[in-house]
A = this chain, B = another copy of it.
C-alpha cells in the first residue's frame, strides 16, 4: 500500500496532480486509511505511470482516457490505439515543422541586431514589420 506521496515519488507525478486526475476520473478513487488518507495498490501505481508516460509524450488527457478504456478491453482490435498514437505523431511533426520556421526567423532577428539603441534595434523593427520576414510563418 502506497500513500499519495509514495506514488508521487515513484511516478514523478505531483501530489496535487494525482488528486486532480482522480477528480477527472483518469484514476479511480482509491481505498482510504482509517484516517481518510488515500492508500494505493501496485495496480494504481502502474496506471499512474502509464498516464505519466503518455502525458510526457504529449497525449491529451482525453486521448489517455481512450487508451485506458482500450487497455481495459484487451480482446478488442487495437486499430483505435494505433490511430491515437499516429495522430499524436502527426501533430508532433507539425509542431516541429512550425517551430523550425520560428527558429529560423528568430535566429535572423536575434543575431542581426547591431544597433546600439532601441531606435534602430533590429529585433524591434523586425517585429514591427512583417515584411522584413524571410518567409511566412504563424
Contact residues on A (Cβ < 8 Å of other chain), bracket = 35 or more
Number of copies: 2
Q: Is A14 an interface residue (CB 8 A)?
A: no
Q: Which of B52, B76, B77, B99 contacts A92 (CB 8 A)?
A: B99
* CB-nearest residue of chain B to A89: B106
30 A-B pairs, CB-CB below 8 angstroms? A53-B130, A53-B138, A58-B99, A67-B123, A67-B124, A67-B127, A70-B118, A71-B124, A73-B118, A74-B117, A74-B119, A75-B119, A76-B117, A77-B116, A77-B118, A78-B117, A78-B120, A78-B121, A81-B113, A81-B124, A82-B121, A84-B123, A85-B106, A85-B123, A88-B110, A92-B102, A92-B106, A93-B103, A96-B100, A96-B103
